[in-house]
Amino acid sequence: CPRLVSLVDKVKEIVETNEVRRLPKIPKGTRDFGKEQMAIREHAFSIITGVFKMHGAVSLDTPVFELRETLMGKYGEDSKLIYDLADQGGELCSLRYDLTVPFARYVAMNNISSLKRYQIAKVYRRDNPSKGRYREFYQCDFDIAGVYETMEPDFEVIKVLTELLDQLDIGTYEIKLNHRKLLDGMLEICGVPPEKFRTVCSSIDKLDKQTFEQVKKELVDEKGISNETADKIGDLVKTRGPPLEVLLELRKEGSKFMGNAGSVTALNELEILFKALDKANAIGKIVFDLSLARGLDYYTGVIYEAVFKGTTQVGSIAAGGRYDNLVGMFSGKQVPAVGVSLGIERVFAIMEQQEMEKNQIRATETEVLVSIIGKDLILAAELVSELWNAGIKAEFKLTTRIQNHLKYATQSGIPWMVLVGESEISSGKVKLKNLAASQEEEVDRTEFAQVLKQKLRNP
Amino acid sequence: CPRLVSLVDKVKEIVETNEVRRLPKIPKGTRDFGKEQMAIREHAFSIITGVFKMHGAVSLDTPVFELRETLMGKYGEDSKLIYDLADQGGELCSLRYDLTVPFARYVAMNNISSLKRYQIAKVYRRDNPSKGRYREFYQCDFDIAGVYETMEPDFEVIKVLTELLDQLDIGTYEIKLNHRKLLDGMLEICGVPPEKFRTVCSSIDKLDKQTFEQVKKELVDEKGISNETADKIGDLVKTRGPPLEVLLELRKEGSKFMGNAGSVTALNELEILFKALDKANAIGKIVFDLSLARGLDYYTGVIYEAVFKGTTQVGSIAAGGRYDNLVGMFSGKQVPAVGVSLGIERVFAIMEQQEMEKNQIRATETEVLVSIIGKDLILAAELVSELWNAGIKAEFKLTTRIQNHLKYATQSGIPWMVLVGESEISSGKVKLKNLAASQEEEVDRTEFAQVLKQKLRNP
């Protein structure tokens, strides 16, 4: 049937044309980082790694995918967000969900007894991108594994966190801090049965977003906690303030916490931690807050969360705590650990905003543009190589239109131009142009690189 | 049946015990990079990005996985090595196989007309790990996309390649260079029919590993090339040498290349390239080599490959060329491009070897260890914070055994120790110990940070 063949050909043509015209896409929830974003990201990374190196932390890199069995049983309900690789024969693998489990796997696999490491890397979650969440995003983790004196690594992790947030300079913040054993002690005191500790904790964890009335309703209606117990909890979680003051308060005569073994242990540990942070001038940002619960099950000691203060920047920027049992899940040999994870995507976003307001983003560091008013690549090669040899960051451009040279230099924020046209070539000179100052001068071609170096290094 | 229950319990116990004892693994063909390796890697990255920034290249980051359709039809037979993500609902995605296709996709998607970018990132191939190949490994790519004067970006890419290899200082090398149009011209001159150009090229590509006799056999027996044609090819591919000399040779009166349009174009382009490289002092490492063919189909102009000279380090360390049609495969709009990919895993391996021989690898940059001979965290916090505040990279350690302090400082290569025991505490002094010089001195606790800063910054 010729009409059918003709129709099929027509459809084929339309489909093929569309295929050619259709622009390519990237997967939902992922992004490219373009040149300006990369410049900001590198700036943030350099501040962050600077802090880590100040503390003698080492860097670790792990594969982007792990054996699926490594990730199983670590994330509870969130396991459904794990990206699996297709079964193409061989092992079953999944993309990493965070950096903590690969760290624990590494410590266990290599039978390491102590390690202070940082890792800045992408993690993967099949989350709903419509909520503004990314499916591929950076995490920045700092952890110390090993047996130390009481609060020794806990102190350093919190000190590092304050240094990170101070040096990144992205907003006023406070670090809410609590202790899992104190939290459990509090629930015991209020009359919560031990088997309900974790589920009550996840209700308390919502107090930063919900009123106590809402949380109480959940405790009573859904979790079977009595009205009286819920009110007792509501009373105690209000306790918050400067760490050493709250500590005194909780330890004063008649405090119910002093009759609770777990709480006493926690308060003794916190005393050492607070005094150490005080000596390190790092206690000013800490708020001892009995309402801080943290969702994750694996925490066993101190827990903390950094939040922005003020109206525009809401929410958590970093969080962490002590987890003494995770490494043991892999090797059977317990290696206690404590760490913090910085929400670095938020750091990027804030820094991007700041830099845009200051109009300061430069994607390159180019110092000089060699502008050949013509098409002579060989001349360009000679001149620009002299700059490269002199350690000057330089680009070159060939075009007869001087406006294009100027436009390029201005758009890229390049401070100096070397202009070379017909007259310069015949006279053996080149013209140096300082764009900010709108000044030009002619110098001998034989010495322009040295003159520029002088101007750039000793302005 | 109680015996069966007991047996099942027994089996369960053994399985569970084994599970606890079994050490975790990582996927085949992947690696963790530990602290010493990371130190070397960061050193290599800093040299490499230094070169790129010298040329005004911008950094780009793309997602680790792309839509599967983006990768399809780009890698020929090697497509079977692509890692797919599992179909968990939603889009079909695959891990990136190289950095060139994501770059072309980025340029097309964002309708970019020119871009000079570098990217250092991991790529994924389901290759056979038993051949010593990794399934996750770094690539380091530098590409320039856009319409420029003849050979303008080609010159810069090759210049960058020489700077990379010179500055990494990992061995003597040469850069073999050829031109696809010259290669096709050569085949035409020898009498190869156009439809066999690519398949003959892949045979020629084997000349670095096989003798001409072996390649000739393949050409004649498998690819249907006549003996006479094969011998003509064998004669011409021997041509190699200093670029400007070979160029003269190929252009001299009576050269068959001068009667072939494609070859004439190629030789004219190469003349500009070689003269530019000559002016940039970068021609010394280039060998114009008519046997260089490069396997990949997508090259359209200049092609090159850097190889180590000498006996121990064999094989290709970097390769690249001009590919003018790849971006157009995505958007329908052609954006010509040229680039190079550095085999950075090999760079790591050689640098690791070099550093091990020099016994120079330090995983941290720690300058001072604060050694508290005791368990006083609060004292440690006070002293070490003074060092951090003074911008000194410092760690602290609490233990009554002075040997443990010394061992740690020595193993970590930390040059200075601050020793604080009972006597120092009571006298208000601390002891500074220089490990390399085996010298000790006592200084006031109030000024030890300043004294150390002086010693470290003005030794």
Please write the tens of the pLDDT for every residue from B396-415.
999 999 999 999 999 999 99
Distances (CA, A) of B140 to A281, B120, B169, B297, B317: 43, 4, 17, 21, 11
Per-residue pLDDT at B424: 87
Whether the predicted pLDDT of B128 surpasses 90 = no
- Are B24 and A83 an interchain contact pair (Cβ–Cβ within 8 Å)? no
- Are B86 and A86 an interchain contact pair (Cβ–Cβ within 8 Å)? yes
User: What percent of chain A shows pLDDT beyond 70?
Assistant: 96
What is the spatial distance between Cα A382 and Cα B271, in angstroms, rounded to a whole number? 15
Q: Which residues of B touch A97 (CB under 8 A)?
A: none
- Are B54 and A394 an interchain contact pair (Cβ–Cβ within 8 Å)? yes
- Are A56 and B393 an interchain contact pair (Cβ–Cβ within 8 Å)? yes
Query: Quick one: A62 and A138 in the same domain?
Result: yes
Radius of gyration of chain A (CA): 30
Per-residue pLDDT at A404: 96
* Pairs across A and B, CB distance < 8 A: 269
Per-residue pLDDT at A320: 96
Q: DSSP label at B84?
A: B
Start-to-end CA span in chain A (Å): 81
Start-to-end CA span in chain B (Å): 81
Residues spanned by the domain of A249: 180-288
Each residue's pLDDT tens digit, B353-403: 888 888 778 889 999 999 999 999 999 999 999 999 999 999 999 999 999
Q: Which residues of A touch B335 (CB under 8 A)?
A: none
Each residue's pLDDT tens digit, A374-426: 999 999 999 999 999 999 999 999 999 999 999 999 999 999 999 999 888 88
**Per-residue pLDDT averaged across A426-451, rounded?**
94
Whether the predicted pLDDT of A69 surpasses 80 = yes
Query: Quick one: A280 and A324 in the same domain?
Result: no
Distances (CA, A) of A86 to A26, A92, B130: 19, 8, 21
Per-residue pLDDT at B23: 82
Average pLDDT, chain B: 92
Q: DSSP label at B157?
A: H
Each residue's pLDDT tens digit, A156-168: 999 999 999 999 9
Could you give the strand order of the β-sheet that contains B286-289, starting from the edge strand earlier in sequence? B58-59, B115-124, B136-145, B337-342, B316-322, B302-308, B173-179, B286-289, B240-241
Return the CATH number at B451: 3.40.50.800
Neighbouring CB atoms inside 10 A of A118's CB total 25
Radius of gyration of chain B (CA): 30
Q: Which residues of A touch B385 (CB under 8 A)?
A: 159, 279-282
Quick check: is B436 in a domain?
yes
Best interface-test mutation with A: which of B157, B327, B377 has the largest number of A CBs within 10 A? B377
The answer to whether the Cα torsion of A66, A68, A74, A79 is positive or negative is positive
Query: Quick one: A263 and A355 in the same domain?
Result: no
Exposure of B199 in the CB half-sphere (CA atoms within 13 A): 12
**Per-residue pLDDT averaged across A179-205, rounded?**
92
Write the CB contacts of B346 (distance below 8 Å, at least 6 apart in sequence).
Answer: B315, B317
Q: Which of the four pLDDT bands, split at 50, 70 and 90, describes residue B21?
A: low
Q: Which of the four pLDDT bands, split at 50, 70 and 90, describes residue B89?
A: confident
Q: Higher model confidence: residue B426 or residue A66?
A: A66
Whether the predicted pLDDT of A332 surpasses 60 = yes
User: What percent of chain B shows pLDDT beyond 70?
Assistant: 95
Each residue's pLDDT tens digit, A421-433: 988 888 999 999 9
What is the spatial distance between Cα B83 and Cα B66, in angstroms, rounded to a whole number? 11
- Are A136 and B63 an interchain contact pair (Cβ–Cβ within 8 Å)? yes
Structure tokens of A411? 């758009």
Structure tokens of A338? 């404590």
Quick check: is B421 in a domain?
yes
Best interface-test mutation with B: which of A279, A325, A369 has the largest number of B CBs within 10 A? A279
- Are A26 and B62 an interchain contact pair (Cβ–Cβ within 8 Å)? yes
How many domains does chain A contain in total? Answer: 3
What is the spatial distance between Cα B453 and Cα B431, in angstroms, rounded to a whole number? 15
Per-residue pLDDT at B90: 87
Query: Quick one: A377 and A263 in the same domain?
Result: no
Write the CB contacts of A119 (distance below 8 Å, at least 6 apart in sequence).
Answer: A59, A60, A61, A62, A99, A102, A103, A139, A140, A141
Query: Quick one: A252 and A272 in the same domain?
Result: yes
Quick check: is B137 in a domain?
no
Exposure of B172 in the CB half-sphere (CA atoms within 13 A): 5
Quick check: is A301 in a domain?
no
Q: Which residues of B touch A272 (CB under 8 A)?
A: 377-378
The helix/strand/coil state of B35 is helix
What is the spatial distance between Cα A268 and Cα A264, in angstroms, rounded to a whole number? 6
Write down which residue in A341, A363, A385 finishes a domain.
A363
Q: Higher model confidence: residue A387 or residue A75?
A: A387
Whether the predicted pLDDT of A313 surpasses 70 = no
Q: Which residue of B has its CA nearest to A50?
A: B393
User: What percent of chain A shows pLDDT beyond 90?
Assistant: 78
Quick check: is B426 in a domain?
yes
User: Going along B111-214, which residue ranges are E strands?
Assistant: 115-124, 136-145, 173-179
Each residue's pLDDT tens digit, B441-453: 999 999 999 999 9
Q: Which of the four pLDDT bands, split at 50, 70 and 90, describes residue A15?
A: low
Average pLDDT, chain A: 92
- Distance from the Cα of A157 to chain B's closest Cα (Å) equals 12
Quick check: is A238 in a domain?
yes
Quick check: is A78 in a domain?
yes
- Check if the beta carbon of residue B366 is closer than 8 Å to that of residue B393: yes
What is the spatial distance between Cα B294 and Cα B197, in angstroms, rounded to a whole number? 13
Partners of B160 in beta bridges: none
Each residue's pLDDT tens digit, B241-265: 999 999 999 999 999 999 999 999 9
- ipTM of the complex model: 0.88
Best interface-test mutation with A: which of B61, B84, B456 has the largest number of A CBs within 10 A? B61
Each residue's pLDDT tens digit, B284-299: 999 999 999 887 778 9
Three-class SS string for chain A? CHHHHHHHHHHHHHHHHHHHHCCCCCCCCCCCECHHHHHHHHHHHHHHHHHHHHCCCEECECCCEEEHHHHCCCCHHHHHHCCEECCCCCCCEEECCCCHHHHHHHHHHCCCCCEEEEEEEEEECCCCHHHCCCCEEEEEEEEEECCCCCCHHHHHHHHHHHHHHHHHCCCCEEEEEEEHHHHHHHHHHHCCCHHHHHHHHHHHHHHHCCCHHHHHHHHHHHCCCCHHHHHHHHHHCCCEECHHHHHHHHHCCCCHHHHCHHHHHHHHHHHHHHHHHHHCCCCCCEEEECCCCCCCCCCCCEEEEEEECCCCCCCEEEEEEECCCCCHHHHCCCCCEEEEEECHHHHHHHHHHHHHHHCCCCCCCCCEEEEECCCCHHHHHHHHHHHHHCCCCEEEEECCCHHHHHHHHHHHCCCEEEEECHHHHHHCEEEEEECCCCEEEEEEHHHHHHHHHHHHHCC
Q: Cα-Cα-Cα-Cα dihedral of A407, A413, A416, A417, to 10°? A: -20
Structure tokens of B335? 């954006």
Per-residue pLDDT at B359: 74
- Are A381 and B148 an interchain contact pair (Cβ–Cβ within 8 Å)? no
- Are A280 and B385 an interchain contact pair (Cβ–Cβ within 8 Å)? yes
Q: Which residues of B touch A152 (CB under 8 A)?
A: 377, 380, 398
Distances (CA, A) of A208 to A177, A317, B234: 13, 14, 77
Q: Which residues of A touch B122 (CB under 8 A)?
A: 64
Quick check: is B46 in a domain?
no
Q: Which of the four pLDDT bands, split at 50, 70 and 90, describes residue B13?
A: low
**Per-residue pLDDT averaged across B125-143, rounded?**
90
Per-residue pLDDT at A10: 72
Structure tokens of B320? 């690249």
Q: Which residues of A touch B380 (CB under 8 A)?
A: 152, 276
What is the spatial distance between Cα B58 and Cα B204, in angstroms, rounded to a whole number? 36
Each residue's pLDDT tens digit, A315-326: 789 999 999 999
Per-residue pLDDT at A14: 61
Partners of A117 in beta bridges: A58, A143
Query: Quick one: A274 and A198 in the same domain?
Result: yes
Whether the predicted pLDDT of B309 surpasses 90 = no
Question: Among candidates B191, B397, B82, which has minimal Cα distance to A85?
Answer: B82
Each residue's pLDDT tens digit, A120-141: 999 999 988 877 789 999 999 9
Q: Which residues of A touch B445 (CB under 8 A)?
A: none
Phi, psi for A141 (deg, rounded to 5): -115, 145
Question: Among candidates B314, B169, B397, which has minimal Cα distance to A149?
Answer: B397
Task: Look at the block and give the residue holding tokens 């800490």.
Answer: A286
Partners of B85 in beta bridges: A85
Task: Look at the block and give the residue holding tokens 């009550």.
Answer: A200
- Are A53 and B364 an interchain contact pair (Cβ–Cβ within 8 Å)? yes
Q: Which residue of A has its CA nearest to B61?
A: A33
Structure tokens of B174? 């040469």
What is the spatial distance between Cα B395 and Cα A162, in angstroms, rounded to a whole number? 17
Question: Among candidates B172, B164, B175, B71, which has minimal Cα distance to B126?
Answer: B71
Whether the predicted pLDDT of A155 surpasses 80 = yes
What is the spatial distance between Cα B94 and Cα B74, in angstroms, rounded to a whole number? 13
Query: Quick one: A382 and A344 in the same domain?
Result: no
A24 → closest Cβ in B38, B85, B109: B109
Per-residue pLDDT at A209: 84
The most distant pair of C-alpha atoms in chain B lies apart, rounded to whole Å, by 100
| Distance of alpha carbon A133 from the chain centroid | 14
Question: Among candidates A175, A178, A183, A107, which has minimal Cα distance to A147?
Answer: A107
Query: Quick one: A62 and A157 in the same domain?
Result: yes
Question: Which residue type occupies A104?
Answer: A
Whether the predicted pLDDT of B209 surpasses 90 = no
Q: Which residues of A touch B389 (CB under 8 A)?
A: 281
